[in-house]
Structure 1
Amino acid sequence: MNSSQHKVDFKATQAEFTSYIRNPDTQPCPEGIKPERMQMYRELCFNNVESFLSSNFPVLRKITSDSQWQQLAQDFFANHPSTTPYFSEIPEEFIVYLQQERVAGANDYPFMLELAHYEWVEMALSIAQEDIVEPKINQISDLTQTLSISPLAWVLAYQFPVHKISPDYLPLQAPEHPSYLAVYRNQEDQVNFIELAQMSYFLLHTLQEQQAISIADCLSQILPDDSAESLENSAIEAIQQFVDKQVILID
């Protein structure tokens, strides 16, 4: 007997296996495997993904009904072509799905993508590999000192106030002004956020765009040419507060 008759196309079988696990309603059960066993595999895989989404997007999960959440998780599980085998990277894949692939339903919140991104940022910072070295200088002494933003600080702008979203606050329209936030991890590995005034946002955004800049140059970029001394002093005070929180580093 020709042994080639017994060869199995493992890639094809694997594709059939995973296609059925993703969406058993539209894909046939692989030949030679009992449907009950395939259902067990499917429940195991889906429940792992759904549990990971729930734990990493707790606010989104809390404000979404059980049926809507199951539909959202199933749509992601069935249709998103993940590019990573690591569970820790599933949240980022979910952001890609919401941003590029999700066909918004009538019950989708208009802030869903922004809220998910905000929750992902908190998770990403909590597991980031970078560390903050104990600064040698933590007080502003003159305007020639060089500033840089912490590698564990992200400066964000959202149309919706995502940091306030809760079951009691579900805005259907974006406010007139955006929400500016800094999310950061300190030396105690605590992830915190700060709601920023517009000037503070421009300050941190300027530092984010430039790896290192003197305090004087920074002030010249964020303040009007004819700004009063009191405004400059307020900006310097804001910089010191960010230094105290380890959002800004003095080199």
Structure 2
Amino acid sequence: MTRHAKFLKRSVALGAVALAALSLQTGTAGAAGEPTPSSSTPGTKVVGGVPAAQGEFPFMVRLSMGCGGALYRPDIVLTAAHCVDGSGNNTSITATAGVVDLQSSSAIKVKSTKVLQAPGYNGSGKDWALIKLARPVTNLPTLPVTTDGRYDSGDFTVAGWGATREGGGQQRYLRKATVPFVDTPTCQRAYGSAYIPGEEICAGIMSTGGVDTCQGDSGGPMFRKDNNGAWIQVGITSWGDGCARPGKPGVYTRVSTFAKAIATAADQLRR
């Protein structure tokens, strides 16, 4: 069975974007600033996570096709290849940044101008893409990417506006969770030949599950602190077998493998 048939990419299907938008959480804010779940809320957490505070991850971006991303440069968003439809001019994507609440009046919204999908992407591995914005977002920090494998282990942070449970709706408020690194042999046992060790990295709680990214989180960053205590991106949310299942970790694009190619592509987009 192919990976596409058995394992799910973690983006919202393009045909379901309108439905996903309708299912955004609209609960009122509680005393601590956390939204109170509405009757249609599948849960109050990103799978196993908690709400992110305003300004906690200022590099986070929500993309209108139902994916996440991070500011790679002030005018470029790094996301997943499976979130976009090829390379070229594209003005159909809206990037929302600067807020945890997607309905906030303070949200920064910028249209796309171009998209560059990873060269050679065919649905397996190489799951990265860049989106050029119509104007730079100069008042928010970018998220540096790791250029080698020194940070490809430990505990990682993931964040996004995706479903809080497998099959759930998209979220209005940004959520975060911590997921531990899963080594290559363990991930290979979980996914067999579908997992590409040199291009992908796995994270999750193998024994119990319960903490994971899910549909709508695709393209968002997986990151951790570097040796100087600053955030650095090590992964891009890509795929998995369901969401937060025991023995089935999340699979992320291994950014260290593609750091040079991403930098080259970003330079091309600016020409």
> Per the shorter chain, which TM-score range?
under 0.3
> 1 or 2, which has the higher strand percentage?
2
TM-score (norm 1): 0.20
> 1 or 2, which has the higher helix percentage?
1
TM-score (norm 2): 0.19
